[in-house]
Structure 1
Amino acid sequence: MNELLSAAIEAHGGHRRWRDLTRVRATLVSGGQMFVAKGQPQDPEPREMTVLLHEEHASVRPFGAPDQRTDFTPGRVRIEKLDGQVVAAREDPRSSFSGHTFNTPWDPLDRAYFNGYALWTYLTTPFLLSMPGFAVAEIEPWQEGDELWRGLRAAFPSEIASHSTHQDFYFGPDHVLRRHDYHVDVAGGFAAAQYVYDRVEADGIIVPTKRRAYRRDVDGRPLLDEVMVSIDLGDIHFT
């Protein structure tokens, strides 16, 4: 395994602890200008996010109504009642984003798909980078203030749904994640820089509770005048 990835996994709780766990639940509050642009503005009410750790499967509740939730995998997304009755569904959901620009409106299934893959990615980082099919290599570090953050570039396998095929992860001197860069392919491919902070230890795993994603310029600097996506997590429990 790549030396930096190995150090990062240990700093976030270690492979041994990760293998003993199967899922995580957390309270989620999200928002940001991207959802406004997509015609899906996010209210500030907390929701429950559930993510499986060793396969890409996620759900959030409530969604659209108090008695509804999402059910996401890379190959399909559903909105369903809590008893399992399907309200709406889409097979091959990634194909519905073909030709989208930043301002192309989303429907609720588009929003559910984005939420599913994004939160699965975030709640399994950096451990997902050691899964079969991922290729990682160290890249030039990023200077942030007086800290130098070492970087990993990951190529995601085609069977994993995420923002883009290539994504960059930057780790502080303690090998804990500080920043995550990617292109949002489902929103016109704009370049994003996401800063993560306010870490907590939850059942042996280190998790950032706050994420703020900004557009980034050609030099990699975040454009801080507008938050594209904000995510606050709380009450995090791994089982």
Structure 2
Amino acid sequence: MHTLLAEVLDAHGGLERWNALTTVRATIVSGGDMFVMKGMPQDPTPREMTVWLHEQHASVMPFGVPDQRTDFRADRVSIRKVDGRVVAERDEPRKSFIGHDLCTPWDALDRAYFNGYALWTYLTSPFLLSMSGFAVTEIEPWREGKELWRGLRATFPPHIASHSTRQDFYFGPDHLLRRHDYRVDIAGGFAAAQYAYDTVEADGIRLPTKRRAYRRDADNRPLLQQTMVSIDVSNARFT
């Protein structure tokens, strides 16, 4: 394992502790201009997010109406009633985004797919970088004010759905996650810089409770005048 990655994992609670856990549940409140552009402005209702840590599986509730939830996997996404009845579903959901740009409207299953892979990525970071199939290399650090944030570039394996195949993660002097860069392939491939902060400890795992994503320019600087996606996490419980 890469030395920096090992130090990062230790700072976030350690791989031994992570491997002893199976799921995380958390309350999320999300928003941002990207959802408006997609014709799905996000209301501030708190939602319960469940993520499986060692397989790509996630669910959020409520979704659309109070008695509905999503069921996300990389190759299938569905919207279900709480008793399990299927409201809508889609196999190979990534294909539905072919030809999309930033302003192409989404339907409910598109939104469910984005929520599933994005929150799975965020709530399993940085431990997902140790999963089979990920390739990790150290990259040039990013200077933020007086701090120098060391970076890891991850190449995601084909079976993992996420923003883009290549993503960059930056860590502060304490080895905690500070920033996450990627391209949003399902929305025209725009370049994003996401800041992660207000880290807390939950059941031995440290995770940021606030994330703010912005578009970034050709020099990787965030365009702070517009928040594309905001996510607040609270009440995280690992089991």
Same fold? TM cut 0.5: yes
Please state if 1:36 is matched with 2:36. Answer: yes
Helix, strand or coil at the partner of 2:99: coil
Q: How many residues align?
A: 239
Could you tell me how far 1:67 is from its partner in structure 2?
Answer: 0.3
Q: How does 1:132-151 map to 2 (within 5 A)?
A: 132-151=132-151
| Amino acid in structure 2 at the alignment position of 1:54 | H
Could you tell me how far 1:218 is from its partner in structure 2?
Answer: 0.3
Could you tell me how far 1:142 is from its partner in structure 2?
Answer: 0.1
Match of 1:20 in 2: 20
TM-score (structure 1 length as normaliser): 1.00
Match of 1:198 in 2: 198
Distance 1:142 1:98 in 2: 32
Could you tell me how far 1:89 is from its partner in structure 2?
Answer: 0.2
Distance 1:157 1:20 in 2: 23
Distance 1:94 1:221 in 2: 28
Q: How does 1:86-105 map to 2 (within 5 A)?
A: 86-105=86-105
Could you tell me how far 1:103 is from its partner in structure 2?
Answer: 0.4
Distance 1:146 1:86 in 2: 52
Distance 1:40 1:207 in 2: 27
Match of 1:52 in 2: 52
Helix, strand or coil at the partner of 1:110: helix
Could you tell me how far 1:93 is from its partner in structure 2?
Answer: 0.2
Q: How does 1:61-80 map to 2 (within 5 A)?
A: 61-80=61-80
Could you tell me how far 1:201 is from its partner in structure 2?
Answer: 0.2
| Amino acid in structure 2 at the alignment position of 1:89 | E
Q: How does 1:86-235 map to 2 (within 5 A)?
A: 86-235=86-235
Map Cα deviations across residues 49-91 of structure 1 (whole Å, 9 max, x no partner): 0000000000000001100000000000000000000000000
Distance 1:151 1:68 in 2: 39
Percent of matched pairs sharing the same residue: 74
Helix, strand or coil at the partner of 1:96: helix
Distance 2:154 2:66 in 1: 37
Distance 1:99 1:136 in 2: 30
| Amino acid in structure 2 at the alignment position of 1:180 | H
Match of 2:5 in 1: 5
Structure 2: tracts of 5 or more residues without a match: none
| Amino acid in structure 1 at the alignment position of 2:197 | Y
Distance 1:169 1:213 in 2: 13
Distance 2:33 2:188 in 1: 14
Could you tell me how far 1:47 is from its partner in structure 2?
Answer: 0.3
Helix, strand or coil at the partner of 1:159: coil
Helix, strand or coil at the partner of 1:9: helix
Distance 1:143 1:200 in 2: 24
Helix, strand or coil at the partner of 2:64: coil
| Amino acid in structure 1 at the alignment position of 2:189 | G
Please state if 1:238 is matched with 2:211. Answer: no
Distance 1:134 1:3 in 2: 15
| Amino acid in structure 2 at the alignment position of 1:37 | M
Distance 1:189 1:20 in 2: 36
Helix, strand or coil at the partner of 2:9: helix
Helix, strand or coil at the partner of 1:173: coil
CA RMSD of the aligned region, Å? 0.3
Map Cα deviations across residues 3-45 of structure 1 (whole Å, 9 max, x no partner): 1111000000001100110000000000000000000110001
| Amino acid in structure 2 at the alignment position of 1:108 | A
